[in-house]
Structure 1
Amino acid sequence: MAKCFSYTATQDSCYRYSFSRAGLKSSTTDLGDGTIMHCWAPKTHNQSKPTLVLIHGFGANAMWQFNDFIAPLKSKFNLYVPDLLFFGDSYTTRPERSESFQARCVAAVMDAQRVSGTMDVMGLSYGGFVAYSMAAQFPERVGRVVLGCAGVCLEEKDMEDGMFQVKSVDEAAEILLPQTPEKCRQLLRLSFYKPPPVTPSCFLADFIEVGNKF
């Protein structure tokens, strides 16, 4: 029997409406060589405002992580919110998987949007690594940088020494990109100080199914 309702897909539609209502438009840029980048960009770029790029971490797409921040920031900045490659509507057929390649793609999107001058960049979690790489590769383009929950100085031996509850990058990836309801619950337990006491498996399975389509 076909599923008639998806909470996750419905929530995604609500986020799209919220971003559009905040004055952002969905924009897709073909960077060539099989690389497509999606970005939420201002419907009208105001030259009197500074530019702020919000770079998400692991998750379904940028909307899910930044929706609550768009309204308070839009009056002060020209907001650009890209989907990193392999999240949302961004993808590539090229073999590169590094944060430096992600950073170059975000910078290329900003060039395609004809954003001149410096831009401020905020990166959350994995997005922090990308933001850090942008600042390192394009110091003339990047002004202020904010890194949230991003261990840019982390070394593999830190995991081996027991700094985290996971023992390897592969184990962390299995939790950050869960493929089973139990892995989702593990992510919630590790992410929240007070995780939800009960989360139905059907809800978690729906999130995984819709998220895999992003």
Structure 2
Amino acid sequence: MPPPPPAAAAGRGRCRCALSFAAARDRCFSRRFLRAGLRPLAVPVPAPAGAGADPAAATVHMWVPAPGPPRNPLLLLHGFGASATWQWAPYLRPLIAAGFDPIVPDLIFFGSSSTRLPDRSDAFQAAAIKAAMDAIGVTRFGLVGVSYGGFVGYRMAAMFPDAVRRVAMVCSGVCLEEKDLAEGLFPVATIGEAAALLVPRRPEEVRRLVRLTFVRPPLIMPSCFLWDYIKVMGSDHIQEKTELLYALINGRQLSTLPKLTQPTLIIWGEQDRVFPMELAHRLNRHLDGNSRLVVIKNAGHAVNLEKPKDVCRNIIEFFKEAVDEVANGDDKV
């Protein structure tokens, strides 16, 4: 989800800003990644078996640690909204200080990642990210997924259980079923409405999204800032992102969702209105004793942005368990 725009004097209509706040903020986040010791990398990904022989059917842009063997690689997958840097910048220094090496890709059709192939499934996203991880020489890692990134991460953990050691899911409604929309569990009743909500094209749509995802949204969101954000961060691949949502939700059933074998941490904002708490409990039941649920109070769907310290602390504690077990000679988690 996009970060809340700053409070400022309200304007009417499409007011004109001399400078692009969104572009300046984007550069600021990139500098934070560079200062944290990460570098940007564009990784060509070949087509999967059966999809042709194109050696670069997709390109995954990712931020990776400086050259050298990673200590404890931790893959961070973002949700819908701006590129990965906007969503993960607050987590870099705490994770690095705790002994982890963050690896932060843009999912396909976000940031600078793209593909020429027509596949829009979460399985394709998972395979592309796994291929990129293989390309940089990281074959075993922990995984954290936020919202849509959790859907991709869950699928990745199911497809590649030998590579993904542990999984943290942050407000990711992987247990939703398409029928949940019509039955009123969500603020939307159709996939089309969900796409209009998560891929906003006008300031009023951004305002609705921010107010749904944050417990304390900014009181004032001037149209000029919102138009600027849409132009800089939200105007690319609109059709493709809409197709991602259709592929994700259309025909989805809990009965076809695999159960992960890895230890799994579920983190949820108590007041999440995009993916209500029912989905957190549903996922916890689905994993049948192989997971733990942490509920963050006074937070909504954007819990990773509203309560980054709380979320980061729980992530560190959970993945530290795996580090301690390896140190004690148990490398089975």
Question: Under TM normalisation by the shorter chain, which class is it?
Answer: over 0.9
- TM-superposed CA distance for 1:3, in Å, is 6.6
1:57–1:126 CA contact under 8 A, matched in 2:
yes
Match of 2:133 in 1: 110
| Aligned residue identity for 1:37 | V
Contact in 2 for aligned 1:45/1:78 (Cα 8 Å) = no
Q: Which runs of 5+ in 1 are unaligned?
A: none
Q: Return the TM-score normalized by structure 1.
A: 0.94
Q: 2:156 — aligned with what?
A: 134
Q: Does 1:174 align with 2:188?
A: no
The question of 1:66 aligning with 2:88 is answered yes
Residue identity opposite 1:11 in structure 2: R
**How far did 1:165 drift?**
1.1
Counterpart pick for 1:80 among 103, 116, 124: 103
Instruction: Output the amino acid matched with 2:21.
Output: Y
Does residue 9 of the first structure (1) align with residue 31 of the second (2)? no
* 1:101 match: 124
Structure 2 match to 1:19:
33
Alpha-carbon separation, structure 2, partners of 1:22 and 1:149: 26
Listed one character per residue, the Cα deviations across residues 16-72 of structure 1 (whole Å, up to 9, x for unaligned) are: 10000001000001113331110000013444x211000001012000111111110
Is 1:200 equivalent to 2:207 in the alignment?
no
Query: Which secondary structure state, in structure 1, belongs to the residue aligned with residue 61 of structure 2?
Result: strand
1:198 Cα deviation from its structure 2 partner: 1.1
Give the structure 1 partner of residue 74 of structure 2: 52
The answer to whether the 8 Å contact 1:59/1:176 transfers is yes
AA aligned to 1:163 is L
Aligned counterparts of 1:58 and 1:64: Cα–Cα separation in 2: 11
- Structure 1 residue aligned with 2:169, among 147, 162, 170? 147
Q: Which amino acid aligns with 1:191?
A: T
Bigger shift: residues 86-95 or 166-175:
166-175
Distance 1:177 1:38 in 2: 21
Cα distance in 2 between the residues matched to 1:83 and 1:45? 22
Of the structure 1 ranges 157-166 and 123-132, higher mean CA displacement relative to structure 2 is found in 157-166
What SS does the aligned partner of 2:197 have? helix
User: What is the rounded CA distance, in whole Å, between the counterparts of 1:149 and 1:45 in structure 2?
Assistant: 33
Moved over 4 A (4+): none
Amino acid at match of 1:158: D
Question: How far, CA to CA, are the matches of 2:17 and 2:226 in structure 1?
Answer: 15
Aligned-residue offset at 1:194: 1.8
Superposition TM-score, scaled by structure 2 size: 0.61
Q: Structure 1 vs Structure 2: percent identity of aligned residues?
A: 45
Query: What secondary structure, in the 3-state scheme, does the structure 2 residue paired with 1:186 have?
Result: helix
Report the count of equivalent residues: 211
When Rg is computed on C-alpha atoms for both structures, the one with the higher figure is 2
